[in-house]
Every structure is written in structure tokens, then in C-alpha cells.
Amino acid sequence: MGTGTRGLIATAVTVVCAVTVLAVPGTAFAAPDPTATAPTSSAPAPASSAPAAASPSPAADKDLEAVRAKLDKLYHDAAVATDSYNAAQEKADKQSAAIVELARKIVKGQQKLDRLKKRAGAAAAAQYRTGGLPDEARLLLSDDPQEFLDGADRTLQGERAARGLIGELTRTQQDLAQYAEDASARWKGLEANRKAKDAARKKIKEQISAAEKLEARLAKREKERLAKLEEDAAFKAQTAWLDSGVLDEIKGKASAQGRKAVAYATAQIGKPYEWGAEGPDTYDCSGLTSQAWADAGHAIPRTSQEQWKQLRHIDVKDMRPGDLVIYFHDATHVGMYIGDGAIVHAPRPGRTVTITGAGSMPILGVVRPDA
């Protein structure tokens, strides 16, 4: 792809006006929010296109850069806590399902134990009716030795059956004891994850609240300038990524499932970010990607960190639409590659699902759900 084409794509992605993606042939997706997600870079932004007299002073920009860096940290910490919350929720869901299954096993086991006890009781009653006499006494009292031998054989069979019954009773009781122990352990795990969720929820609210208060202290003009600085930083990072020539090497075609996942994700454009949300009205970053792939018929881990850990890693030059781009050193953000150097993602609180440059944030790596 030529330099001119790359520049055109970089501009289109950054201002997020109308990016055609490899989802449904002939369909263009336009993001409603032109503000790109803020990267962690604090490099000075390009000069504003506003008249010189209206441009803020370098000192004012420096102050706003400090604010932007602080906001980035607060929202990053909120993203870390969100991943912890989502991971705890996922574990809690699995533990709840396991407890339900154990409860079913306990009920069935108890029913089986009751039936076995009834059989054991019937066997004991039968033995009582025979008087429980020893074999020698029954032989002496019998008028027909052959009848005695036949009866002795049946008695041996009955004894073997009784031993089998006792063994089955013992195993069933042991199984019930193990089910109860497993259920107790699951309950303890469930309680631990509930506490982890509560702690993560508290952390998320604290970080988001602090960020909102920080932004609320800015005047309207400062907010506009801050948004421009964010946009400039994203543009700079994306341009540097494209200028490396990486897009010339990315030629992968989406799989059938990948196209379906991209179609789902891009259809959510404009919906608000909400931590812990998996749709259909709001999403967090990994909620969007996990639901998109679930819609494509392929379940993947819920959190960006687990997506990074569990899914197959792909070289950036080999990525194709539908692959997931993982961001930041701790894998706390994820977007879905849609082609032409762009991703669709749920950025952060206060933003909506949108399209931005794949290189506008620090890339940790790429993973492929349907490898």
C-alpha cells in the first residue's frame, strides 16, 4: 500500500468519519464519536489549526497534558479493576453451576441410598424369618437332604448379594460425603469471589469518580482542548505505526466466523461503555469482543487478560479481521481488528463503541480466537 493511501487511511481512522471495513460486503461503518481513545503517550501534540490568537499557551497545554496523563492513569486503573471484577464474576458463574450440579448428584445419591437401605432391610427380614439357624441345625431338621443343599446354594447366593449390597451402600455413602465436601469448597470459593468482586467494584467506582471530578473541574474550552490533545496523540501514534510499513505486510483475509464477529462488533458502534457490561445496550472492552465471538459461534474468555493468556498469539503482520488486538503491558484493553489498520472497541467510561487506529495505543500483541 502506497504512502498516500496509508496517510488517507490514517486520517480517516483518526477523525473516525467513515471507515469501510471487512464485515458485510459493501457496508460502511461510521463511528458517531470522533474522539479517539487516549493513548498513554504524553508527547506534545501538533499545533492547533485554530487562529494563533486563540491558541492556548504552551504552559496551558503542559497543564492539560498533565491532566490527560492523570486521566489515563485513573481510567487504566479502572480497567485493571474491571478485569478483576469480570474474572471474579466468570469464576462465580462457574462455581454456581458446579454447586447446582453437585446438588443434583446429592439428591440422586440420597435417593439411591434410600433404595439400598430398603433392600438391605428386606434382606434382614428374610433372614429373620428363616430363624437365622446355622447350616448344621437346618440339615438335621430337614427331611430332604437335596432340598437342604438347594437351599444352602440359594443362601450362598443371598450372602454374596448381601455383600454386594453392603459394598454399594458404602460406596454411595462415600460418594455423598465427597459431594458434600466438594459443595462446601465451592461455596467457600463463591464467597471469596463475591468479596473479590466487591473490592473490584469499589476500586472501579473510586477511579471513575476521581476521573469524572477531575474532568468536571475543567472549563468548556479546556475540555475541548483536552479532547484535541487526545486526538492529536492518537493520530501521532497511529501515523508512526503506519509509517513503519506494517500495513504493507497485513494481507490476511477474515474467516467466516471472523466476518460474523466483525459484523456483530461494528453493529454496536455508538453504544455506551459500561464496566462489566456484555450488551446488548452497553459494553466494556472485553464484553464487546467476547460477545462478538459468541455471536459468531465461538466462545472465548471473558476478560482481555484471559484472552491474552488463553488464545493463540499471532504476529501482527499475520493478523486478519476478527483477530483481537491486546493493549498495554498488563493486557487491560482489547479491540477487534477490522481491516485497513483499524479496530472497533469500547474505549472507556464516557465514551461509546467506536472505530480507531489499531496503532493508536501501545500494542502488547494479537490473538486469534478461531485459530
Q: How far apart are CA 42 and CA 362, in angstroms?
A: 12
Q: How far apart are CA 308 and CA 366, in angstroms?
A: 8
Q: Is 285 known to be catalytic?
A: yes
Q: Identify the pLDDT of residue 58.
A: 55
Beta bridge partners of 324: 336, 367
Task: Report pLDDT digits (tens) over 148-166.
Answer: 445 545 555 555 656 666 7
- Identify the band that residue 317 occupies on the pLDDT scale cut at 50, 70 and 90: very high
pLDDT above 70 as % of the chain: 71
Please tell me what DSSP assigns to residue 273: B
19-20 vs 28-29, strand pairing mode: antiparallel
Q: Identify the pLDDT of residue 107.
A: 81
Name the 3-class secondary structure at 256: helix
What size, in residues, is the chain? 371
Q: What is the CATH number of domain 3-60+245-368?
A: 3.90.1720.10
Query: What is the phi/psi pair of residue 302, to 5°?
Result: -75, -35
Average pLDDT over residues 296-308: 94
What is the biggest distance separating any 2 CA atoms in the chain, rounded to whole angstroms?
Answer: 128
Alpha-carbon torsion 80, 358, 364, 37, what sign?
A: negative
Q: How far apart are CA 76 and CA 223, in angstroms?
A: 20
The three three-digit cell numbers of residue 325, written as one number: 488486538
What's the Cα-to-Cα distance from 201 to each of 73, 173, 196, rounded to whole Å?
Answer: 17, 42, 8
Query: What is the phi/psi pair of residue 325, to 5°?
Result: -100, 120
Q: Are 363 and 340 spatial neighbours (Cβ–Cβ below 8 Å)?
A: no
Q: Are 246 and 50 spatial neighbours (Cβ–Cβ below 8 Å)?
A: no
Share in percent of the chain as helix, strand, coil (round to 5): 60, 10, 30
Amino acid at 145: P
The catalytically annotated residue of 285, 298, 313, 329 is: 285
Query: What is the phi/psi pair of residue 353, to 5°?
Result: -60, 130
Q: How far apart are CA 73 and CA 64, in angstroms?
A: 14
For residue 134, cis peptide bond before it (omega within 30 degrees of 0): no
**Lowest mean pLDDT: which of 24-28, 143-147, 164-168?**
24-28
Helix segments in 142-253, DSSP class H: 145-216, 220-243, 246-249
Average pLDDT, the chain: 74
The catalytically annotated residue of 76, 298, 329, 345 is: 345
Q: Does the pLDDT of residue 53 top 70, yes or no?
A: no
Task: Report pLDDT digits (tens) over 25-41.
Answer: 333 333 333 333 333 33
- Identify the band that residue 359 occupies on the pLDDT scale cut at 50, 70 and 90: very high
Q: Identify the pLDDT of residue 60.
A: 61
In 273-371 the beta strands, taken as DSSP E runs, fall at 312-314, 324-327, 333-339, 342-345, 354-357, 363-368
Q: Identify the pLDDT of residue 187.
A: 77
Q: How far apart are CA 224 and CA 214, in angstroms?
A: 14
Name the 3-class secondary structure at 19: strand
- Identify the band that residue 371 occupies on the pLDDT scale cut at 50, 70 and 90: confident
The three three-digit cell numbers of residue 307, written as one number: 484472552
The three three-digit cell numbers of residue 326, written as one number: 491486546
Q: Identify the pLDDT of residue 229.
A: 81
Residues with Cβ within 8 Å of 128's Cβ and at least 6 positions away in sequence, in order, are none
Q: Name the residue ranges covered by the structural domains of the chain.
A: 3-60+245-368
User: From the centroid of its chain, how far is CA 165?
Assistant: 47
Name the 3-class secondary structure at 123: helix
Q: Strand order of the sheet with strand 312-314?
A: 312-314, 363-368, 324-327, 333-339, 342-345, 354-357
363-368 vs 312-314, strand pairing mode: antiparallel
Q: Identify the pLDDT of residue 120.
A: 67
Task: Please report where in the chains the cell 490473538 appears, as a residue.
Answer: 367
The catalytically annotated residue of 17, 76, 329, 333 is: 333
Q: Identify the pLDDT of residue 150.
A: 54
